[in-house]
Structure 1
Amino acid sequence: MNIFRISTLWVPDHHLNMEWDHPERPALKEWSIKAFDGNLLLASLGFLLPTLGVFFVMWLIEGDIWLGLIPSAFVGYITYNASVQKRMCVHRLTDEGGEVYKWRAIPDFIFASMPWFAGIYLILVLWGFTFSSEIGLGALVGGGGVGLLYALVFTSEDYKKDQLDLRHWKFNWDEIYEVIYDRKGHAIGFTTEDSRPYIVRFKEDNENFYGCRIYFHPKMAEELLRLFKSKIAPSIVIKEGRIHYRTID
C-alpha cells in the first residue's frame, strides 16, 4: 500500500517502489514524515561555507556586495539541496516489529550541475589571480577552495548513489536491547542485537549513538512510546536524551 504521496517532478519516484516484506501482518501504526536524519551542524557548514565563499570571492574581486548576491543565491540553493535536504521517511509497525523506508527527494539536476559548480569556483579563483596574487589567494583561502572541494565531493557517483538510493530496513521487537527518546528531535532511537558489534565501537565516543532511528510528528510521541513499552522487554528502560549523529548521513 502506498501511504505516501510526493511530486515526482525531477526527483526519484521511490514512493512507487516501496514493497513491504510482510504486508500480510496487520499494521498497528503507519505514517510518513519528512525529517533530517543526521548531524545538522555538519550539514549546515556544508551549506554555508560554499555559499559565503562565493559571496566573499565576488566581494574581493568587485568590491560590490550586490554583485555577489546572485551567484551566492545559486550556490546556496545547490548546496542546500545537496547537504541540508531532509529525508522522506515511511514507517510501518506491526505486532512482530517494523519496517522503514527512507530516501532523499533531491532533484537529479542538482548533481548534474556539480561539474558546472566546480568550474564556476575555479573560474572565480583564477579571475582573482588576474587582479593580484593577494586577491587570488584570498579567494582560494576565503571560500573558493572550500567550495571547489565540496563541488568535487558532490560530483562523486558514490556520493550521489548514497544520497538518492532507496533505503529499507526492518526490525523485530524482541531484537531491541536499548531505546532512547529524543523529545526535542521528535525521534526514538534504538539498537538491535545484530548490530551490537558495530554500535559498541561508536558508543565509546558517545553513548547516545543508536543505529536505528524513527521520526514522528510531535502529537504521536505518547502513542509511540506506549507502543514501544508494550512491545520491548520489560527490563528495558527507555532513557530520554538527545540522539548523537556521527555524520550528515
Structure 2
Amino acid sequence: MDDDPLFSGTLTLLFFTTVNIALASMTHQRMNFSYRFTESGLECCEWKDFPKWMLTFLKWLTAITAIMFIILASVDPAFLIGAIVGPGCIGLTYLAMANSKSYRDMHTQYHHLTYEWKDFTQLAIATNREVVDLKFTHFNQRLGRTISYSINIFREKKQKEIVANFIKPYLSPGVPFIKAKVNVPMSH
C-alpha cells in the first residue's frame, strides 16, 4: 500500500472528510426560538439542543474504523497499533459525551431575554431574509453602558407583514417602520 499513493490518499481524504463533517455539524447546530408578546414588552427564549445523532455517529464510526484497521492490520502488521488506538480514542470520546451531563450542558445553550417596548428604536421588515427586525437600545447593568442591538423575529415570508403590523401599535410614537435589507447576526 505504500507504493499506491492513490489508495492511501483516498483513505486519508475519506477519514478527514468524515471527521470534518461531524465537527461542522456539532458547531453549526440549529437554534430554536420562541417569542411572547405582552403589554409591557417582548420575551424571547432561544435554545440550542445537543445533537443526539452525534452519539450514534460516534458509535458507528468506532465500529467502522475498528473493522477497517483490522483489515489493514491483516495486510501490514504496522496497522495493528492504529487498530487499537484509533477506534479506542473514538470510543472513549463517545463514552465521555454519552456519560457526561456537564459536557452536554456545555454544548447546549439557553437564553431568556426580556425587552420593554419603550427601548425599541426601529421596526423593519427584512427584504432579504425571513425576519422582522427590531432595533433597540438599553442600559446594560453588567457592562455599565447603553448598548444598541437588534432582535430578529424569524417568520415565513407571508407572515412578516402580519407580525410587523401586530407589533407596531405597541411601539412608542415616532418609531420608524421600514422595509430594508437586514443583516442577521449568527448568534446573540
Work out whether 1:104 is the aligned partner of 2:48: yes
Q: TM-score, normalised by structure 2?
A: 0.56
Question: Corresponding residue for 1:73?
Answer: 18
Question: Corresponding residue for 1:167?
Answer: 111
Question: Corresponding residue for 2:166?
Answer: 227
1:130-209 correspondence to structure 2 within 5 Å: 164-195=108-139, 197-199=146-148
Question: Corresponding residue for 2:8?
Answer: 62
Show CA shifts across 1:148-185 (max 9, x none). xxxxxxxxxxxx86752210011222221222221332
Tell me which protein shows more strand as a share of its residues: 2
Q: Distance in 2 between matches of 1:161 and 1:191?
A: 30
Cα 1:173–1:163 shift into 2, 3 Å = farther
Amino acid corresponding to residue 238 of structure 1 in structure 2: F
Cα 1:170–1:248 shift into 2, 3 Å = closer
| Pairwise CA distance, 1:107 | 2.4
Secondary structure at the counterpart of residue 106 of structure 1: coil
Show CA shifts across 1:43-74 (max 9, x none). xxxxxxxxxxxxxxxx999333x652354134
Work out whether 1:87 is the aligned partner of 2:31: yes
| Pairwise CA distance, 1:90 | 0.8
Bigger Cα displacement from structure 2, 98-107 vs 181-190 = 181-190
Secondary structure at the counterpart of residue 135 of structure 2: strand
Q: Distance in 1 between matches of 2:127 and 2:163?
A: 12
| Pairwise CA distance, 1:100 | 0.9
Tell me which of the two structures has the higher relative contact order, counting C-alpha pairs closer than 8 angstroms and 6 or more residues apart.
1
Q: Distance in 1 between matches of 2:118 and 2:187?
A: 29
**Structure 1 outlier segments of 4+, above 4 Å:** 108-111, 160-163, 245-249
Question: Corresponding residue for 1:150?
Answer: none
Q: Distance in 2 between matches of 1:60 and 1:242?
A: 48
Question: Corresponding residue for 2:100?
Answer: none
Contact 2:118 2:172 in 1 (8 A): yes
Question: Corresponding residue for 1:239?
Answer: 178
Cα 1:215–1:163 shift into 2, 3 Å = farther
CA RMSD of aligned residues (A): 3.7
Contact 2:125 2:161 in 1 (8 A): no
Question: Corresponding residue for 2:153?
Answer: 214
User: Which runs of 5 or more structure 1 residues have no equivalent in the other structure?
Assistant: 1-58, 114-159, 200-209
Q: Distance in 2 between matches of 1:171 and 1:162?
A: 26
Contact 2:137 2:147 in 1 (8 A): no
Cα 1:162–1:172 shift into 2, 3 Å = farther
Q: Distance in 2 between matches of 1:63 and 1:193?
A: 54
